[in-house]
């Protein structure tokens, strides 16, 4: 079985080029495939390989104090869903083009999957406020599944979210809004930006959909979660829609 991980962490990286080179060397030595994104604001990893090899990279990475709090989501497949290893330097590990939403300075409040599952069952938060699930992913991803009754936006890319959200601000003001995405990284910036722009009733789903599946299952979720590899989408048991063909 192949271990697949999705992991990210926002932390200041003074020399992204050096870190990218170190991660490439380590991943190649361990015969891992996937995508590694490095920016001055942190790292974003989608990697797959033998369990011992993946754990070896994570152990090496998390011994660095900068990455001790790295969030990792795990899933399994019969074959590797990536054809090769790609390591890229980026201005942002997730492009948003809103520099004021700086996750290096602060983080929007988060709700744990277990707490959210309870809110979804009862239809409101612990204070009795109505609950709105806000999907920050694009239309292609949403088509595979989302939380039941979620507010979805007709966006093609993450940078479109602020404009698409504007007509909904007034209606959302009376609710507790929980923003969510695949693994949590977009929620970090989206929820932070929304709170900075006056929506102080916004929370982010800690760990995103994959973290929710891992800790809670499919409570309140309809369908699958799109992932960025040959598995296409995962169900709440983290099983793939399509098993990738083995690539040599």
Average pLDDT over residues 95-116: 96
Q: Return the pLDDT at 144.
A: 97
pLDDT at 76 over 70: yes
Query: Which helix or strand (DSSP H or E) is residue 129 part of?
Result: none
pLDDT band at 197 (very low <50, low <70, confident <90, very high): very high
Q: Where in the chain is the domain with CATH 3.30.70.100?
A: 2-89
Q: In this predicted structure, what is the pLDDT of residue 243?
A: 73
pLDDT band at residue 246 using 50, 70 and 90 as cut-offs: low
Mean pLDDT of 49-67: 97
Active site residue 181: yes
pLDDT over 60 (residue 247): no
Alpha helices in 68-219 (DSSP H): 113-122, 139-142, 161-165, 169-172, 185-196, 208-215
Average of per-residue pLDDT values in the chain = 96
What is the percent of the chain with per-residue pLDDT over 70, rounded to a whole number?
Answer: 98
Question: Across residues 112-134, what is the average pLDDT?
Answer: 97
The CATH code of the domain at 110-234 is: 3.40.250.10
Q: Which of 80, 181, 187, 225 is catalytic?
A: 181
Residue 50 has pLDDT above 80, yes or no: yes
Confidence (pLDDT) at 79? 95
pLDDT of residue 175: 97
| Residue whose entry in the numeric block shows the structure tokens 């977009």 | 186
Can you give the pLDDT at residue 71? 85
Decide: 147 and 225 in contact? Cβ < 8 Å. no
Q: What value does the mean pLDDT take over residues 110-131?
A: 97
| The predicted structure's pLDDT at residue 248 | 45
- pLDDT of res. 241: 84
Inter-residue contact 4 to 77 (CB < 8 Å):
yes
Q: C-alpha angle 28/235/144, rounded to 5°? A: 95
CATH 3.40.250.10-classified regions of the chain: 110-234
* CATH fold of the domain at 2-89: Alpha-Beta Plaits (3.30.70)
């Amino acid at each position: 079985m192949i271990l697949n991980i999705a992991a990210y962490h926002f932390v200041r990286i003074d020399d992204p080029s050096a870190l990218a080179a170190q991660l490439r060397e380590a991943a190649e030595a361990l015969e891992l495939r996937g995508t590694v994104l490095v920016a001055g604001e942190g790292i974003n990893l989608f990697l797959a390989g033998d369990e011992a090899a993946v754990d070896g990279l994570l152990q090496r990475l998390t011994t660095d104090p900068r990455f001790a709090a790295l969030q990792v989501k795990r899933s399994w497949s019969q074959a590797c869903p990536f054809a090769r290893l790609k390591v890229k330097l980026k201005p942002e590990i997730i492009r948003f083009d809103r520099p004021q939403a700086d996750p290096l300075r602060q983080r929007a409040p988060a709700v744990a999957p277990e707490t959210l599952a309870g809110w979804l069952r009862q239809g409101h938060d612990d204070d009795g406020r109505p609950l709105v699930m806000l999907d920050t992913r694009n239309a292609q991803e949403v088509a595979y599944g989302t939380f039941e009754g979620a507010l979805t936006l007709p966006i093609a890319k993450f940078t479109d979210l602020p404009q698409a959200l504007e007509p909904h601000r007034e209606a959302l003001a009376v609710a507790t809004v929980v923003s969510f995405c695949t693994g949590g990284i977009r929620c970090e910036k989206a929820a932070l930006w929304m709170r900075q722009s006056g929506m102080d009733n916004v929370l982010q789903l800690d760990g995103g959909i994959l973290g929710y599946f891992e800790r809670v299952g499919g409570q309140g979720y309809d369908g699958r979660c799109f992932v960025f590899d040959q598995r296409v989408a995962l169900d709440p048991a983290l099983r793939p829609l399509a098993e990738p063909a083995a690539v040599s």
